C-alpha cells in the first residue's frame, strides 16, 4: 500500500489520500475491506470473507465476485496491499496507516500520562480522528457489531480523559456545554454526570449541580438502579461547600 494513503473506519469506511477521500466502492467492497482491517496482521479466511459479505447466502458466483472486489481494492490501495495466502487474504499495511490503530495508540498514551495538558492534548487528537459511527453503515452488521461497540466505548473513555484533564486544569467553564451534550447522548454514563456536576460546582453553579444530581437519580430510578454512594457523597460535599460559602461570606449567594 502506498505510504501516503490511510484506511479510515472511524466513520464511513474510506481511504484517505493527499488529494482527499477516495470512495472504496459499494457495500460489498466496504465490508471486505472492513473485515481485512479487523483482521490486520493476520490472514483472513476466504470463507469468513464470504460470510461477511453475503451472510449465509452467498451466490454461486461468490468466488469470482470476491476476486473482483479484491482486484478493485488493490487498485485503490496499491497492488501489494492485499495478498493471497492459501485460502485466505491478508492486508499488508502498516498499522499506523489505519485510523483506529492511531486512535488506540493516542488513547493509551493519554491514559498513561501524568501530565494533564498532555493527557488532554493526546485525547483530543484521538477524538479528532472520528467522523461518525465505526464502520459507518456497516456498524450493526454481525461481523462488525462487537468491534463497533468496543471502539465506541473507547471513544467515551477518551472523552472522559479529556474532560477530566480540563477540569483539573481549571477549565470548568469551557467544558460545561460539552458535558451537558455528552450526558444527553449517554444518559446512563454516570462518570460523565459526575464530571458535569463537578464542573458546575467548580463554577459556583451549585444549584445547577444539585439539579443535575437529582436528574441523575431520576434517570437511574427509571431503570431500577440505586444511586451509588459516590453520588450521595458528591451531593453532600456540594451542600457542605454551599453552606460554608454562606458562613464565610454572609449575604453572598454562591449560586447563580
**Predicted local distance difference test score (pLDDT) of residue 244:** 44
Give the pLDDT confidence score for residue 78 in this predicted structure: 87
> Whose grid coordinates read 453572598?
252
167 Cβ neighbours under 8 A, 6+ residues apart:
175, 195, 198, 199, 202
CB 50 within 8 A of CB 58: yes
State residue 161's pLDDT score.
98
> What does the pLDDT read at residue 102?
97
What is the b/e burial string over 197-233, where b = at least 16 CB atoms within 10 angstroms of the residue's CB?
Answer: bbbbbbebbbebbbebbeebbebbeeeeeebeeebee
pLDDT at residue 172 in the model: 94
What kind of fold does domain 99-248 have according to CATH?
Answer: 1.25.40
- CA trace torsion 185, 152, 19, 70 (10° rounding): -140
Same topology, domains 6-94 and 99-248? Answer is: no
User: What is the architecture, at CATH level 2, of domain 6-94?
Assistant: Orthogonal Bundle (1.10)
Residue (of 220, 223, 176, 226) closest to 197 by Cα position: 176
Using an 8 Å Cβ cutoff, are 1 and 15 in contact? no
Q: Which stretches of the chain are DSSP H helices?
A: 27-38, 46-54, 62-77, 99-112, 116-127, 145-168, 172-185, 190-202, 206-222, 229-248
Query: Domain spans of the chain?
Result: 6-94, 99-248
- Cell of residue 178, nine digits: 460539552
pLDDT tens, the chain, 256 aa long: 556 789 999 999 999 988 889 989 999 999 999 999 999 989 999 999 999 999 878 888 999 999 999 999 999 998 889 999 999 999 998 889 999 999 999 999 999 999 999 999 999 999 999 999 999 999 999 999 999 999 999 999 999 999 999 999 999 999 999 999 999 999 999 999 999 999 999 999 999 999 999 999 999 999 999 888 999 999 999 988 754 444 333 333 333 3
pLDDT of residue 79: 85
pLDDT at 19 (0 to 100) = 87
Cα 99–chain centre separation: 12
Amino acid at each position: 500500500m502506498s505510504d501516503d494513503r490511510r484506511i479510515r473506519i472511524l466513520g464511513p469506511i474510506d481511504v484517505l489520500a493527499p488529494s482527499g477521500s477516495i470512495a472504496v466502492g459499494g457495500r460489498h467492497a466496504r465490508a471486505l475491506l472492513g473485515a481485512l482491517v479487523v483482521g490486520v496482521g493476520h490472514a483472513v479466511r476466504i470463507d469468513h470473507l464470504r460470510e461477511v459479505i453475503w451472510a449465509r447466502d452467498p451466490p454461486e458466483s461468490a468466488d469470482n465476485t470476491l476476486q473482483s472486489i479484491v482486484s478493485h481494492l488493490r487498485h485503490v490501495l496499491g497492488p501489494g496491499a492485499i495478498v493471497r495466502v492459501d485460502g485466505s487474504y491478508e492486508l499488508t499495511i502498516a498499522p499506523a496507516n489505519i485510523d483506529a490503530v492511531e486512535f488506540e495508540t493516542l488513547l493509551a498514551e493519554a491514559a498513561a500520562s501524568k501530565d494533564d495538558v498532555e493527557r488532554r492534548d493526546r485525547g483530543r487528537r484521538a477524538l479528532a480522528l472520528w467522523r461518525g459511527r465505526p464502520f459507518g453503515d456497516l456498524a450493526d452488521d454481525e461481523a462488525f457489531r462487537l468491534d463497533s461497540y468496543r471502539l465506541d466505548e473507547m471513544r467515551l473513555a477518551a472523552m472522559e480523559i479529556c474532560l477530566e484533564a480540563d477540569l483539573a486544569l481549571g477549565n470548568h467553564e469551557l467544558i460545561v456545554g460539552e458535558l451537558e451534550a455528552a450526558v444527553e447522548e449517554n444518559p446512563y454514563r454516570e462518570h460523565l454526570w459526575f464530571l458535569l456536576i463537578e464542573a458546575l460546582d467548580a463554577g459556583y453553579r451549585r444549584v445547577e449541580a444539585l439539579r443535575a444530581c437529582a436528574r441523575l437519580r431520576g434517570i437511574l430510578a427509571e431503570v431500577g438502579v440505586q444511586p451509588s454512594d459516590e453520588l450521595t457523597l458528591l451531593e453532600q460535599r456540594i451542600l457542605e461547600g454551599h453552606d460554608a460559602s454562606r458562613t464565610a461570606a454572609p449575604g453572598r449567594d454562591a449560586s447563580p
